[in-house]
């Protein structure tokens, strides 16, 4: 059970990284979108650290 939760979090983390990369590659990246995505990514990283 624990490992499937970790896998799910890692997939979410990778998905958010991809979204950040997509936003950064736009002609005019939206700083608030990038900041929100980075906060979500950090929360997932912290949750993974606690497992």
Q: Which domain covers residue 6, as residue numbers? A: 2-50
Number of domains in the chain: 1
Q: Does the pLDDT of residue 22 top 80, yes or no?
A: yes
Q: Does the pLDDT of residue 43 top 60, yes or no?
A: yes
Average pLDDT over residues 39-49: 96
Q: Do residues 50 and 19 lie in contact, with contact meaning Cβ atoms separated by under 8 Å? A: no
* Predicted local confidence at residue 13, as pLDDT: 97
DSSP letters for 1-51: -HHHHHHHHHHHHHHHHHHHHHHHTSSS--HHHHHHHHHHHHHHHHHHHH-
**pTM of the predicted protein model:** 0.85
Q: Does the pLDDT of residue 41 top 80, yes or no?
A: yes
Cα–Cα distance measured from residue 4 to residue 32, given in angstroms and rounded to the nearest whole number: 31
* Predicted local confidence at residue 2, as pLDDT: 74
């Amino acid at each position: 059970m624990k490992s499937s939760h970790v896998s799910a979090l890692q997939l979410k983390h990778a998905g958010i990284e991809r979204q950040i990369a997509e936003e950064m590659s736009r002609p005019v990246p939206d700083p608030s979108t990038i900041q929100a995505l980075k906060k979500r990514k950090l929360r997932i990283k912290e949750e993974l650290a606690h497992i």
